[in-house]
Chain A
Amino acid sequence: MRLYELSFNEIEEFFYKLAEVRDIIKDSGLMSFLPEKELPEIATGTARVKHAFPIFQKGGVIMDVTNVEQAGIAEDAGATSVMVLDKLPYDVRKSGGVARMADPKIIEEVMNSITIPVMAKVRIGHYYEAKLLEALGVDTIDESEVLTPADEEHHINKWEFKVPFVNGARNLGEALRRISEGASMIRTKGEAGTGNVSEAVKHMKIINAEIGALVGMSEEDRVKKAREYQVPYQLVELTAKIKRLPVVNFAAGGIATPADAALMMWLGGDGVFVGSGIFKSQDPAERARAIVLAVAGWEYPEVVLEAQKMISEQKSMMGIDIKSLKPEELLQVRGQ
């Protein structure tokens, strides 16, 4: 079990700090809406409620699904959540055109058929898709580069929503920008729909290295970093203090086998997202179960080996070598 190396171990203070970051952003005029300071007897959608939810996903596998049948397979396999999409990333890549949020009727069907949380994706900067998903009642919104961005310049101000958001990141600056915009969870971007884990590995290592560098820095240099990252200094300081991202960080993008999933846990992921890797394989039910086992028991090679034996490499999804993709075909560069 990894533990935060905390000199800073007051959990309540942790949530409070994130709320403080939000207030700083609000004061700098970037936020128009702030929940009540005085708590009513029952308070929903607070910073604490939003940031707590992803904590209960840790050590879990979140699976992309496109219909009720796939959602049932994911739940039975032990997924901690499903992510509903119109098309799996692999098919988004193949089909081209504009990729938008999934059909709300299908999301609703999935919500009514399983007990685990249901997430769904919106286009980067698409406030209204997010408003619709919030009205529908999804448990988490993924503002995702896998869909075609709606706003090339800005992300959604996530503090305005009561539903938690997850965002992709390729480096620490991107991760902290998303957190300062209100994201409750981060995932590596990887290169979705390729079945190739190399980009997810790269992003996780970059984030780890940049946090390491931050820890060793003087206060003066951290101030400079905060400016470079375009985030409040308090967020940079908090990250250096707890020596990890201040929110839950999952690995995503190209994970296709139990060994891939275990590798990402070993690199420090709090859990994994599996997209095309399961339902673009020939053995989705077995593979889903195997990846759940590999993530839960990642510290033990013999457990991961048992998981890897549950699937057949011949049934894995066909991978795409990143080097064969043209720069304009990369999904990860969308929305920095």
Chain B
Amino acid sequence: MKIGVLAYQGSFEEHALQTKRALDKLKIDGEVIAVKRVNDLDVDGVIIPGGESTTIGIVAQRMGLLEPLKEKIMEGLPVLGTCAGAIMLAKDVSDAKVGKKSQPLIGVMDISVIRNYYGRQRESFEANVDLRSIGGGIEKVVFIRAPAIVKVFGNAKSLSQFKDVHVMVQENNLLATTFHPELSGTTIVHEYFISMIKK
């Protein structure tokens, strides 16, 4: 199994580590590679990390990777998008303060996302979220300038909610979280993503 992490910007190293830990835990022989160019897209699953979605989108477009990646995802390549990654996947994106802004996105998932939903870094927080729907427990995770998934429509299904919004949503081969499983003590989200690849 070969899992790629989009590695231009953000928590790509942390995702790579957490993915390796999950593979070890599941005793699956697999490798984790950095995805930066089109020929890196020969993978079984791809992770879009947390970071700044505008930067990730602009650079992916500039490197000629955005369209090929989108095509692969539409053909069924499993993808995990966390925080900025969830924004990249969403069909509908706006900012809590600035409103709609044009930015290059993948835009394939039936979710509405509001950027910077909880506020700025001062309002970033850690909290317990319920991951029992994917075989985990109540886990402590961080939300950093996090977006919120305020609407789930079409084929998308909510897997976890926190307060009044969705924090983990799946739609077939797409998995989005607004928190950061790569910076938590549990590998359960990555294990679940690996199980999506195995199917």
- In the bound complex, do residue A296 and residue B10 qualify as a contact, i.e. CB atoms below 8 Å apart? no
- In the bound complex, do residue A52 and residue B58 qualify as a contact, i.e. CB atoms below 8 Å apart? no
A53 to B144, CA, bound (A): 6
Report the minimum CB–CB distance from B116 to chain A (whole Å): 6
Report the minimum CB–CB distance from B82 to chain A (whole Å): 10
Binds B, one of A75-83, A123-131, A325-333: A75-83
* Residues 49 to 86 of chain B near chain A (Cβ within 8 Å): 50-52, 54-55, 58-59, 62-63, 83-84
Contacts of B58 in A (CB 8 A): 77-78, 289, 292
Binds B, one of A107-115, A148-156, A222-230, A314-322: A107-115
Taking a contact as CB atoms closer than 8 A, the residue among B55, B63, B84 that contacts A297 in the complex is: B63
* Residues 161 to 199 of chain B near chain A (Cβ within 8 Å): 180, 182-185
Taking a contact as CB atoms closer than 8 A, the residue among B125, B145, B183 that contacts A139 in the complex is: B145
A44 to B93, CA, bound (A): 25
A77 to B55, CA, bound (A): 8
Report the minimum CB–CB distance from A135 to chain B (whole Å): 9
Give the interface SS of chain A, mostly helix, strand, loop or mixed. loop
Closest to A49 in B: B124
Report the minimum CB–CB distance from A216 to chain B (whole Å): 24
Taking a contact as CB atoms closer than 8 A, the residue among A59, A75, A81, A289 that contacts B8 in the complex is: A59
With A60-B51, A115-B101, A116-B54 as known contacts, state yes or no: A162 contacts B62, CB within 8 Å: no
With A114-B98, A300-B37 as known contacts, state yes or no: A12 contacts B63, CB within 8 Å: no
* Residues 130 to 144 of chain A near chain B (Cβ within 8 Å): 134, 137-140
With A1-B34, A6-B17, A78-B54 as known contacts, state yes or no: A59 contacts B124, CB within 8 Å: no
Closest to B187 in A: A11
- Indicate whether A56 reaches chain B with its CB closer than 8 angstroms: yes
Taking a contact as CB atoms closer than 8 A, the residue among A42, A56, A117 that contacts B10 in the complex is: A56
A52 to B62, CA, bound (A): 27
- Indicate whether A98 reaches chain B with its CB closer than 8 angstroms: no
A49 to B124, CA, bound (A): 7
- Indicate whether A18 reaches chain B with its CB closer than 8 angstroms: no
Contacts of A116 in B (CB 8 A): 52, 54-55
- In the bound complex, do residue B125 and residue A59 qualify as a contact, i.e. CB atoms below 8 Å apart? no
Interface size on B, residues (CB 8 A): 53
Q: Find the residue from A11, A140, A271 having the highest chain B CB count within 10 A.
A: A11
Contact with B along A26-49 (1 / 0, CB 8 A): 000000000000010111111011
A289 to B142, CA, bound (A): 31
A139 to B118, CA, bound (A): 13
Taking a contact as CB atoms closer than 8 A, the residue among A2, A43, A117, A303 that contacts B13 in the complex is: A2
Contacts of A58 in B (CB 8 A): 9-13, 51
Contacts of A49 in B (CB 8 A): 124-126, 142, 144
A113 to B180, CA, bound (A): 26
- In the bound complex, do residue A140 and residue B21 qualify as a contact, i.e. CB atoms below 8 Å apart? no
* Residues 107 to 127 of chain B near chain A (Cβ within 8 Å): 115-116, 119-127
A80 to B12, CA, bound (A): 15
- Indicate whether B5 reaches chain A with its CB closer than 8 angstroms: yes
* Residues 90 to 123 of chain A near chain B (Cβ within 8 Å): 111-117
- Indicate whether A219 reaches chain B with its CB closer than 8 angstroms: no
- Indicate whether B42 reaches chain A with its CB closer than 8 angstroms: no
Contacts of A48 in B (CB 8 A): 126, 142, 183
Contact with B along A53-84 (1 / 0, CB 8 A): 10111111000000000000001011111000
- Indicate whether B157 reaches chain A with its CB closer than 8 angstroms: no
Taking a contact as CB atoms closer than 8 A, the residue among B13, B115, B140 that contacts A115 in the complex is: B115
Interface size on A, residues (CB 8 A): 57
- In the bound complex, do residue B125 and residue A42 qualify as a contact, i.e. CB atoms below 8 Å apart? yes
- In the bound complex, do residue A53 and residue B121 qualify as a contact, i.e. CB atoms below 8 Å apart? yes
With A1-B5, A75-B54, A78-B55 as known contacts, state yes or no: A46 contacts B121, CB within 8 Å: no
Contacts of A115 in B (CB 8 A): 54, 95, 97-98, 101, 115-116
Closest to B180 in A: A52
- In the bound complex, do residue A1 and residue B7 qualify as a contact, i.e. CB atoms below 8 Å apart? yes
Closest to A134 in B: B122
- Indicate whether B89 reaches chain A with its CB closer than 8 angstroms: no
Contact with B along A197-238 (1 / 0, CB 8 A): 000000000000000000000000000000000000000000
A46 to B18, CA, bound (A): 22
Contacts of A81 in B (CB 8 A): 52
- Indicate whether A293 reaches chain B with its CB closer than 8 angstroms: yes
A3 to B32, CA, bound (A): 11
Contacts of B13 in A (CB 8 A): 1-4, 58
A289 to B14, CA, bound (A): 26
Contacts of A9 in B (CB 8 A): 17, 21
Q: Could you tell me which B residues sit within 8 Å of A by CB distance?
A: 5, 7-14, 16-18, 21, 33-34, 36-37, 50-52, 54-55, 58-59, 62-63, 83-84, 95, 97-98, 101, 115-116, 119-128, 140, 142, 144-145, 180, 182-185
Closest 3 CB pairs of A and B: A12-B185, A1-B34, A59-B9
